[in-house]
């Protein structure tokens, strides 16, 4: 799969071994499902010719899904299909839609959330929806673990804040009564980054009134687009929105899209169209 001189491969059998090996080899490439590494290796020399690889395959501590009354906790190395299967009754709808969009289907037996979040220079499907769901991320390195919000996982330029020898280990999603979950994807980021885009929303609509509506665009750069002012504007409004409300909301979103760096004009147009359509058809779910 990888070209050039054969890399040295580490296969830690548990978390303690993984953290120790990663501390000693902080430049090694972590290998979860290997799907993004495989898909991006043509364009990224670090993926094409890693000197050292640390496989996460045998680390059972990050291969589990568990739940409490308050949250669902997903190990960073759990394959999508297991997440979808174990979490079928409790996963927020927008997240299961986003994970189910990964094609071809066999990739879902390999692809993981940790790998999706950590792809270099690109916020793929999982990040925007986990952001909207107020998920928290556990980061571990030898001798330290910390829980951070999704916002804090990347700096303003979209670079991960992971320290040397630190990796993503768990993702915690609080349980909330979402009435609405929506995920759409245009194109695929592995084929053409300038024409791919994802749009996700989650929300609560009670008695035809929006009590909480969150939307984000991703899969176009290391950044995502979200307008909290717009979300506050829509909160408390009845659905369907009036024409004036839609026009005002669209103008706010257009401004945010226009100001976002790293998004092509094709993506801008599609983002505008998707949002316009979404606020047009939004109704109280049955
Ligand atoms: C044909 C094809 C189509 C795809 N389409 C989509 C798509 O439509 N939408 C989408 O979102 N993605 C898509 N992907 C990308 C990819 O499959 C997913 O993002 C997947 O979730 C990556 O997970 P993985 O476990 O395979 O990551 P890997 O490939 O193993 O790793 C990806 C990166 O994350 C790092 N990493 C892995 N685990 C951790 C960890 N626990 N902590 C820190 N760093 C870590 C690795 O070192 C590497 O840099 C596609 C890929 C292919 C090949």
Residue 235 CB burial class (10 angstroms; 0-12, 13-18, ≥19): middle
Strand ranges in the chain using DSSP code E only, listed in sequence order: 8-10, 29-31, 52-55, 65-67, 71-75, 136-141, 144-149, 167-174, 180-186, 197-206, 209-218
Three-class HEC string of 97-161: HHHHCCCCHHHHHCCEHHHHHHCCCCCCCHHHHHHHCCCEEEEEECCEEEEEEHHHHECCCCCEC
Q: Rounded to the nearest 5°, which phi and psi values hold at 194?
A: -80, -10
DSSP character at residue 178: -
CA of 71 to the centre of ligand 1 (A): 24
| Mutational test site, ligand 1, from 48, 104, 116, 222, max ligand atoms within 8 Å of CB | 116
Nearest CA to ligand 1 atom 38: 115
Q: Which ipTM did the prediction report?
A: 0.99
Give the residue among 166, 156, 164, 266 at the shortest CA–CA distance from 222.
156
For residue 122, how many other CB atoms are within 10 A of its CB?
21
Q: Which tokens go with 221?
A: 């750069």
Choose one of 32, 96, 167 to mutate for the ligand 1 pocket test, by most ligand atoms within 8 angstroms of C-beta.
32
d(CA 40, CA 46): 10
Residues 134 and 71 sit within 8 Å (Cβ to Cβ): no
> Which ligand 1 atom sits nearest the alpha carbon of residue 125?
11
Q: How far are the Cα atoms of 17, 115, 183 from residue 105, in angstroms, in the given order?
A: 32, 17, 17
Distance 270 CA to ligand 1 centre (A): 24
Pocket of ligand 1 (CB under 6 A): 29-39, 76, 101-102, 107, 110-112, 114-116, 118-120, 124-125, 167-168, 185, 188-190
Q: Report how far ligand 1's centroid is from the alpha carbon of 119 (Å).
A: 6
| Per-residue pLDDT at 37 | 94
Per-residue pLDDT at 1? 52
| pLDDT recorded at residue 75 | 98
CATH class of 60-174: alpha beta
Q: Which CATH architecture has domain 180-281?
A: 2-Layer Sandwich (3.30)
Q: Where are the domains of the chain?
A: 8-55, 60-174, 180-281
168 CA closest ligand 1 atom index: 42
What is the residue with the minimal CA distance to atom 6 of ligand 1?
Answer: 102
Which residue's CA is minimally distant from atom 12 of ligand 1?
124
pLDDT of residue 2: 53
**Whose alpha carbon is nearest atom 21 of ligand 1?**
116
Nearest CA to ligand 1 atom 48: 119
CA atoms of 71 and 246, how far apart (whole Å) = 34
Give dist(CA 201, CA 88) in Å, integer: 19
- Atom of ligand 1 at shortest distance to CA of 37? 29
**Cα of 42 from ligand 1 centre, angstroms:** 15
Tokens representing residue 237 in the block: 């409004």
CB of 66 within 8 A of CB of 87? no
Tokens 């094609």, residue?
103
Tens digits of pLDDT across the chain (286 residues): 555 678 999 999 999 999 999 999 999 999 999 999 998 887 788 788 899 999 999 999 999 999 999 999 999 999 999 999 999 999 999 999 999 999 999 999 999 999 999 998 889 999 999 999 999 999 999 999 999 999 999 998 888 999 999 999 999 999 999 999 999 999 988 888 889 999 999 999 999 999 999 999 999 889 999 999 999 999 999 999 999 999 999 999 999 999 999 899 999 999 999 999 999 999 988 8
3-state secondary structure of 181: strand
């Amino acid at each position: 799969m990888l070209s050039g001189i054969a890399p040295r491969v580490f296969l830690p059998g548990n978390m303690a071994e993984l953290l120790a090996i990663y501390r000693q080899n902080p430049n090694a490439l972590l290998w979860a499902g290997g799907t993004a590494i495989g898909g991006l290796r043509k364009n990224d020399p670090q993926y094409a010719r890693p000197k050292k690889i640390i496989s996460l395959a045998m680390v059972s501590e990050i291969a589990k899904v568990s739940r409490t009354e308050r949250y669902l906790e997903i190990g960073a190395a759990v394959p999508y299909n297991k997440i979808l299967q174990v979490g079928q009754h409790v996963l927020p709808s927008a997240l299961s839609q986003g994970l189910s969009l990964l094609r071809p289907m066999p990739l879902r037996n390999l692809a993981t959330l940790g790998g999706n979040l950590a792809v270099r220079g690109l916020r793929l499907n999982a990040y925007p929806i986990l952001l909207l769901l107020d998920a928290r991320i556990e980061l571990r390195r030898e001798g330290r673990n910390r829980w951070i919000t999704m916002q804090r996982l990347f700096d303003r330029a979209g670079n991960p804040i992971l320290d040397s020898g630190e990796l993503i280990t768990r993702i915690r999603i609080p349980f909330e009564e979402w009435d609405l979950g929506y995920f759409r994807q245009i194109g695929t980021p592995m084929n053409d980054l300038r024409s791919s885009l994802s749009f996700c929303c989650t929300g609560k609509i009670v008695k035809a009134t929006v009590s909480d509506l969150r939307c984000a665009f991703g899969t176009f750069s290391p950044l995502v687009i979200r307008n909290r002012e717009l979300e506050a504007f829509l909160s408390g409004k009845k659905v369907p929105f009036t024409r004036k409300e839609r026009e005002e909301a669209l103008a706010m979103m257009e401004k945010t899209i226009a100001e976002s760096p790293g998004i092509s004009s094709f993506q801008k147009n599609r983002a505008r169209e998707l949002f316009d359509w979404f606020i047009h058809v939004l109704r109280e779910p049955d």
